[in-house]
Amino acid sequence: MHGAWHVGWCWRRVSDRLTAAGHLVFTPTLTGVGERVHLLNANINLDTHIADVVSVMKWEDLTDVVLCGHSYAGCVITGVAEKMESAISSIVYLDAFMPENGQALSDLMPPEHGAAIVKAAQEGQALPARSAAAFAVNEKDRAWVDAKCTPHPTGTFAQKVVTTGARDRIGKKVYVLAEGYPGPFRPLRDKLAATPGWRTYELPCGHDIMVDMPDRLAEILQEVA
């Protein structure tokens, strides 16, 4: 599952490798971004994006799913696990946020940034895309990534997650850290590395692991399936 501003396209390199290995792969684009940017509106929230993924799983009759969420999509897959727990065999947080019950993504940001997000959501503003350079994407792919990113619906960052801990009940739980991105995820990875039932990885690349290291990420997703 892609993160904020990104779309299903960012998974193409990984999905091609997994498909070639015989796996069935879905990389849905969430409402309001990319090829669905024409649906962008102020009413889109986290529930909308959770429903996007749940609908794919239900209509495709998916079971034994390796559910992977990148960055913002850690919030999405946390919500999806609540509705589709029995269909998920592995849950993978890819350099991603992991909200607890009652937390929004804006709560996991520095206070000044979180407050700005809530204000923008109240005003119905979309979030302009951050640059690929800010995410430490490899230099060769930065222009491509910048050209493909679109504004992101702010309500998805402001809505609080409701969870009963379904993700913790899933049999295989994985966290993958991007070592080359100076983001907020190192403490989370370190905490999970010491938590029974969690498997962690660290990869020497920028935040967009699926762009920078598709071969290794495809291997990991098969290892944890």
Q: What is the pLDDT along the chain (225 residues), one digit of tens a residue?
A: 999 999 999 999 999 999 999 999 999 999 999 999 999 999 999 999 999 999 999 999 999 999 999 999 999 999 999 999 999 999 999 999 999 999 999 999 877 666 777 777 788 889 999 999 999 999 999 999 999 999 999 999 999 999 999 999 999 999 999 999 998 999 999 999 999 999 999 999 999 999 999 999 999 999 999
Whether residue 85 contacts residue 33, with contact meaning beta carbons closer than 8 Å, is answered with no
**106 carries an active-site annotation:** no
Q: Is 38 left (phi over 0), alpha (psi -120 to 50) or beta?
A: alpha
Burial zone of 154 (CB within 10 Å; 0-12 exposed, 13-18 middle, 19+ buried): buried
How far lies 106's CA from each of 72, 118, 155, 165, in Å?
10, 7, 10, 20
pTM here? 0.96
Active-site annotation holder among 71, 86, 90, 106: 71
Ordered by start, the domain boundaries in the chain are 8-223
Secondary structure (DSSP) of 121-150: HHTTPEEPPPPTGGGT--GGGHHHHHHH--
Backbone φ/ψ region at 193: left (φ over 0), alpha (ψ -120 to 50), beta: alpha
Fold classification of 8-223 is: Rossmann fold (3.40.50)
**Residue 150, number of CB atoms within 10 A of its CB:** 17
For residue 29, list its beta bridge partners. Answer: none
